[in-house]
Structure 1
C-alpha cells in the first residue's frame, strides 16, 4: 500500500515539479494539494494523508502556525517542511513546533526519496545542507517573524542586501547591477520600510540573521 501525500505550496511550478517527482517514486501517491492554510485543513480532512509536505510561507501566512491544529486533528500525520529558508534559527523553530523533517527546495530526487523514507519510518530528517557540517546551531539567533516579507523579496532586492552586507556603496551597487543609483536607493528604502530597519548596520545584521548572505 502506497504512502499518501498532500503537498501545500502556493507556487504552481513547485506543485507541478513535486507531482512529477512523486509519480516516479512508486511507493508514494499524491492525494491532494493545497495553496493556503485553510485549504490544508479541508484537504487533509478529505484525504487523510500519511505525510503533509508543507511550505513555510503560504499566501503571506506562516505554515508553522497550523502545525498544532494539524497535530490535534491528525495525530498520526507526519509533516515535512519544504522550504527555501535555511536559517538555523528557523529550522529550530520548525522542529520545536513538532514537524518531522525539514527539506530545502534545492533537494534532488535522491534526497526526496531519502527524506520520505526516513519520515515513513518515524525518523527525523534534516536536509543535508542543514546538518552538522553546515553549522545547524541551536543558539541565540533571533527567529525572524517576517517570513511573508522575506519570501516576497525580489531577486534584485536580495542582491542589493548581499552587496550592502559586503560593504559596497549605493554607487558601487548600481554599477555592479547595471542600474541607477536612484534605483538602488529606492530599493533600499523599501527594504528598510518592510523590515523596520534604519541604518546599513541594521540591514547587515538582519541579512546575516536571516541567511540572506
Structure 2
C-alpha cells in the first residue's frame, strides 16, 4: 500500500532530497510538506499520514513536547525524527517523548530507507551505532562521556535549543507555557552547567557538542 509521508522541515533542499529518495523507492507514495509547526498542525487537521519525518528544529516546534502534540492529534501516525543534532544526546530523549525513530542527517540514503521502513513496520528505530553504544553502556563498558550538554535535563535542553535560535526569555516562556521566572532559572542553570557567560558562548558550545558536523 502506498505511504503518505509528511516531510516537516524548513529547508527546501532537505524536502526535495527526501522526496526524491522516497519516490525513487516507493513511486506511488504521496508526499506532503510543512515548513513550520503551524503548517504541520493544519495539515494534520486535514489528513492522517502514515509517517511524519520531523526536523526537531522546525520553527514553532523545537521542543520535546512537539512529538506528544503530534501523537495526540494523530496517535497512529509514526514520527521519525530526522535531525542534525547528535543522536548520543538527543535520540533517547525524543524516543522517550514518543518518537518512533531518530536518524541523524549525516546518514546516507540506505540509512534513511531503513529508518523509514522500520518505523512503518511499527518498530522503533535507532542507528546501529546508537544501539551498540546503549548495549556497551548496559554492560558497563562505556560512560556517557565528557559532553557537557549531557548534564542538562530535558527541560533545560528544550530551553537551550530555543535560546540558541535567538529567542528571549518571554518568548520561550510563551512557547513552553512556563513563567518567565522559571525560564530565567533554567537559563541560569544552563549557563552554569555549560560554563558560559553569554549567548555567543552558548551558541559556540552547542555548535561544538550538539550539532553533527560532516
Report if aligned partners of 2:84, 2:211 keep a CA contact under 8 Å in 1: no
SS at match of 1:38: helix
Q: Show the counterpart of 1:142.
A: 152
Alignment of 1:43 with 2:48, yes or no, is: no
SS at match of 1:5: strand
Q: Show the counterpart of 2:103.
A: 103
Question: Relative to structure 1, is the Cα distance of residues 207 and 40 closer, same or farther in structure 2, using a 3 angstrom cutoff?
Answer: closer
TM-score, normalised to structure 2's length?
0.66
Q: 2:199 pairs with 185, 194, 197, which one?
A: 194
1:106 positional shift: 1.5
SS at match of 2:151: coil
Report if aligned partners of 2:63, 2:161 keep a CA contact under 8 Å in 1: no
Unaligned runs of 5+ in 1: 153-190, 198-202
Alignment of 1:83 with 2:120, yes or no, is: no
1:149 positional shift: 5.0
SS at match of 2:29: strand
1:69 positional shift: 2.0
Aligned residues: 169
For the pair shown, the structure with the greater C-alpha radius of gyration is 1
SS at match of 1:24: helix
Unaligned runs of 5+ in 2: 139-143, 145-149, 167-195
User: CA-to-partner distance for each residue in 1:153-172, whole Å, 9 max, x for gaps?
Assistant: xxxxxxxxxxxxxxxxxxxx
Question: Relative to structure 1, is the Cα distance of residues 50 and 28 closer, same or farther in structure 2, using a 3 angstrom cutoff?
Answer: farther
1:100 positional shift: 0.3
1:114 positional shift: 1.0
1:131 positional shift: 2.8
Report if aligned partners of 2:82, 2:104 keep a CA contact under 8 Å in 1: yes
Q: Which has the higher strand share?
A: 1
Question: Relative to structure 1, is the Cα distance of residues 121 and 141 closer, same or farther in structure 2, using a 3 angstrom cutoff?
Answer: same
- Counterparts of 2:45 and 2:17 in 1: how far apart (Å)? 24
